[in-house]
A and B are shown apart, each in its own frame.
With several copies, the nearest count.
Chain A
Amino acid sequence: DDPAAYFAEVIDADHKIEPRDWMPDAYRRTLVRQIAQHAHSEIIGMQPEGNWISRAPSLKRKAILLAKVQDEAGHGLYLYAAAETLGVSRDELVELLLDGRQKYSSIFNYPTLTWADVGAIGWLVDGAAIVNQVPLCRCSYGPYARAMIRVCKEESFHQRQGYEILHTLAHGTPAQRAMAQDALDRWWYPSLAMFGPPDGDSTHSAQSMAWKIKRFSNDELRQRFVDMCVRQAEILGLTIPDPDLRWNETRQAYDFTQPDYDELMRVIKGEGPCNRQRMEHRRRAHADGAWVREAATAYAVKQRAGAQRERVAA
């Protein structure tokens, strides 16, 4: 009946920890931080793509993009719900985001300058997210693992849609082709940086691996992503902006240039091109909606009081 022993056993057996199970405080804190950051990323990540809904170049693409941005809001909701099973409320987590005390993925601090960026986000950013998240479907914490299964399914749909946008552009007019290459040029290294610092500099990784929250190191996942992209870029006919990218027969993997981790650190610190814009946008939407949320609460209170009166009178 030692809960710590039971916890160790479950982890060891590759079974799931569930909300009512005992868990170490650090395990809980790590999960809350990670799931919340993931949820925040979905919500903030709506902005760069949302930027193109009004300008999508065909009605079909507009519908696909609207549905995608909507899915991201849905992912945010499941993930906040998963975090809530660990004893924090969504409102608290949203406050932590708005205060800047919790982060979201740095990739969303880059601007979407052209329509091709919508394709590049789908292909590269969702692609990197999937590489990161597929192992999380086997994460030791049950609610998170289950949320990830659902998220990954939709993400891979999004990734195909993004790839398809780029494929159409890459096989379109010279201007469209140039737009696609330009997007790849700008999004390639930031996407590589999504896997985090190199393993030597990664602070939380070892413990997360032991707890089976994480299953592969940053560098392993980054390599998997590069290997996947190289083949896809060939089909697209686009050039990955890395002159040192080449197949390494010994490693049976591609050698590639690492992203600029100093830049990653600057962006995490708040000095990316759009950090302030993204946060201000989120804060403004939240503040502008306050009177609406208050009205909904006031109305619900009145309705409950009315129902109560009716029950009493009956």
Chain B
Amino acid sequence: MNGPFDFTLALGDDALVAAQRLGEWATRAPEMEEDIALANIALDQLGAARLLLSYAGELEGAGRDEDALAFLRDDREFRNCLLVELPNGDFAVTMVKLLLLSAYQVPLYTALAGCADERLAAIGAKARKESAYHLDHSALWVKRLGDGTDESHRRAQAAVDQLWPYHHELFTADPAAPVDPAALRADFDAVVSPVLAEATLTRPADGWKPGGGRAGVHTEHLSFLLAEMQVLHRAHPGAQW
């Protein structure tokens, strides 16, 4: 990443794609209360995405608003991390994904709240409280699933094994950015390790470290997500909604 535009765009894309995936759960959650909770979290991510993308558009100065950035870029132009674009899988995959994401977003937004850029600081101050709730919610579920039944333990461990490699990308050093992601690693570990331990889940060894999302080299999943998300907006160029 290079400047504040790229940084802000990447964070906005993380939040937008996360919101899109969480929105897929609507009407499908394991209990009604969880339908409400997942919608809440999706709304928080979407809210953060709107603020970040709007600000990214201003930083760019090319006249692109939040919708132009959300609906009129293809996957090679999206800068989100790979973690958020992976398919939802079962509820364990979704909750482990949210745990990893929010354990990154909490220290990120907290650091942002104290940064020199006032707009980013305001966004960070708002979003960190929401992320703290996402972290609590996902941590509780990961414990329930990990230390629940044999079936739920098996699924939760499979989810951790599947997703663990994708967290590395989140902490790729970027010293020039308003917040250097590499500096957030310790906070992440301090949160995630005890949750996994309490959940009786094994933290996988660090091996494969997939990345590329910040450079627009994504998994094959993202272009399908965008095809669906953008279909209506793109079908009516220039229309107001």
Contacts and interface: CB of A to CB of B under 8 A. Distances in A.
**Are A and B in contact, CB atoms below 8 Å, in the complex?**
yes
Interface of A: 43, 46-47, 50-51, 53-63, 66-67, 69-70, 73-74, 76-77, 111-115, 165, 168, 172-173, 175-176, 182, 186, 270-271, 273-274, 276-277, 281, 285, 288-299, 302
Given A59-B49, A74-B36, A299-B148, A271 B207 contact: yes
Interface stretch (B100-108, B110-118, B175-183, B224-232): B224-232
B76 A182 contact: yes
A113 B232 CA distance: 12
Interface residues of B, number: 65
Contact of A289 (B30, B47, B151): B30
Contact of A73 (B39, B75, B90, B228): B39
Nearest to B211: A273
A175 B148 CA distance: 51
Interface in B38-81: 39-40, 42-43, 46-47, 49-50, 53, 66-67, 70-71, 74-76
Interface of B: 16, 19-20, 23-24, 26-36, 39-40, 42-43, 46-47, 49-50, 53, 66-67, 70-71, 74-76, 90-91, 143-145, 147-149, 151-152, 155, 162, 207-210, 212, 217-220, 223, 227-229, 231-233, 236, 238-241
B162 to A, nearest CB: 8
A289 B208 contact: no
B43 A54 contact: no
Contacts, number: 169
A298 B148 contact: yes
Contacts of B147: 299, 302
Those 8 A-B pairs whose CB atoms lie nearest each other, nearest first: A289-B30, A295-B148, A295-B152, A70-B39, A292-B30, A299-B144, A271-B208, A57-B241
B28 A58 contact: no
Contact of B43 (A67, A186, A273): A67
A182 B44 CA distance: 34
A168 B228 CA distance: 22
A69 B24 CA distance: 12
B149 A291 contact: yes
